[in-house]
Amino acid sequence: MDAMSMGNYGVYVWSCFGLTLVMVLFSYWRARLRHKRVYRDIEVRIKALEERE
């Protein structure tokens, strides 16, 4: 419990570490999502072209 309260600075310290975790996870998620989207768009376009031929 003592470790959590951080000498009454707990809120500030934990919110900073929490925010950092959120930001890193968000960046990772964004990178993944964008890759999926770009890949899918290209796939759809190429498959459509392929069928037309």
Partner 1 sequence: MWKFFHQLASPPHFYRLAAVLSPWLAAPGIALIAYGVYAGLFLAPMDYQQGDAFRIIYVHVPSAYLSMMAYMIMAVSGGIGLIWRIKLSHAVAAAAAPLGAAFTFLALATGSIWGRPMWGTWWEWGDPRLTSELILLFLYFGYMALRAAIDDTAKADKASAVLALVGVVNVVIVHYSVEWWSSLHQGQTLMKKGGPAMDPAMLYPLLAMILGFTLLFGSLLLRRVRTEVLFRERRTRWVREMILSPEGS
Q: Are 6 and 14 in contact (CB under 8 A)?
A: yes
Q: Are 10 and 4 in contact (CB under 8 A)?
A: yes
Q: How far is the CB of 18 from partner 1 (least distance, A)?
A: 10
Q: How far is the CB of 51 from partner 1 (least distance, A)?
A: 12
Q: How many CB atoms lie within 10 A of CB 10?
A: 14
Q: Does 13 bind partner 1 (CB under 8 A)?
A: yes
Applying CB under 8 A, which residues contact partner 1?
Answer: 3, 6-10, 12-13, 15-17, 19-20, 23-24, 26-28, 30-32, 34-35, 38-39, 41-43, 45-47, 50
